Amino acid sequence: MLEFASLIKDIHPGIFVYSIYIKEDLDGDQRAGFFGNVDEQLEEVAQQLADVDDLRKGFDAIGFSQGGQFLRAYVELYNEPPIHNLITFGSQHMGVADLPACKPGDFLCRAVNNAARFGVYTAWAQNNLVQAQYFRDPAQLPAYLATNHFLTSINNEIEATINTTYADNFSSLSHLVLVLFSQDKTVVPKESSWFGSYAPPEEELEGRRNAEEKTIIPMRLQPLYLLDLIGLRTLDERGKVFLETCEGTHMQLSTGCWEPLVKRFVGGRVR
């Protein structure tokens, strides 16, 4: 984050850059990316941002991986101070349908995956494992809808608890930039970065190339888009949603990918 902040300052000299954290110590902050209650973390972040004088009039925001999804949740739930332009890189806006692969030697990631496999939709997992709180398996939608409290909420998927404020807040964005990584194997399916998801098994389309291929429901065919449950359709119809692609694997950020977006959508005006 410090390196990326420095690169942004090179592009926009004099810009104020703030890096969100959950824990002040590095090890604790890393652990908070795996263990914790996302709703509680968002509440802490909202208060943290409200206390930063330089952000009082609003700001542009960049979120990497799950950080982008959580910034989107911040917009819907709080947005005070408001986000103007939001860029998310490889973020799981429609959740993940499989646990992400762990890098060699990443024992924290493996510990979380092992715990999740014992019951991703248990009350304990849904309150304590960050990745479980956006795990959305199309083959287990009833269990997901019954137990998940984070992703179902910010996507307004449960009719009885639809919150119209989310759509009002989200559609207030000046621009939304959704970046997908072309070879992403961490976000499954990778189209989740563009609000896409796997279709439930009973809705799989005929004519697939092979048995392993799964049908993707793209953003503009999602119920949350068609019914404008979070304001995404309103934004899109205003021409304010940009679907971008970075070539490479998850978070493989080449300069040619991120720099034009930072030049255009960060710094107070769109170029």
Mean pLDDT across the chain = 91
Looking at per-residue pLDDT, the higher value among 206 and 138 belongs to 138
How many angstroms separate the CA atoms of 29 and 19, rounded?
12
How many angstroms separate the CA atoms of 82 and 56, rounded?
8
Provide the sign of the torsion angle of the four alpha carbons 238, 240, 243, 244, taken in this order. Answer: positive
Q: Which domains does the chain have, with CATH numbers?
A: 2-265 (3.40.50.1820)
The pLDDT tens digits for 233-259 are 999 999 999 999 999 999 999 999 999
Sheet with strand 83-89: strands edge to edge: 59-64, 83-89, 175-181, 241-246
The answer to whether the CB of 72 falls within 8 A of the CB of 177 is no
Give alpha helix (H) positions in the chain: 2-11, 26-32, 38-50, 66-77, 107-117, 123-128, 141-147, 151-154, 164-170, 223-226, 232-237, 255-265
When pLDDT is cut at 50, 70 and 90, the band that residue 118 belongs to is: low
Q: What is the predicted pLDDT for the residue at 207?
A: 47
Q: What is the predicted pLDDT for the residue at 112?
A: 64
Residue 247 — φ and ψ, nearest 5°? -75, 135
Q: In 3D, which of 75, 87, 14 has the Cα closest to residue 49?
A: 75
Q: What is the predicted pLDDT for the residue at 204?
A: 60
Active-site amino acid positions: 65, 184, 250
- List residues bridging with 217 in a β-sheet: 197
The pLDDT tens digits for 196-210 are 999 998 766 554 544
Half-sphere exposure of 21 (CA within 13 A, CB side): 12
CB atoms within 10 A of CB 211: 6
The answer to whether the CB of 22 falls within 8 A of the CB of 48 is no
Q: How far is CA 195 from CA 72, 92, 267, in A?
A: 12, 8, 26
- List residues bridging with 175 in a β-sheet: 85
Per DSSP, the three-state class of 218 is: coil
Q: What is the mean pLDDT of residues 129-146?
A: 94
pTM over 0.85: yes
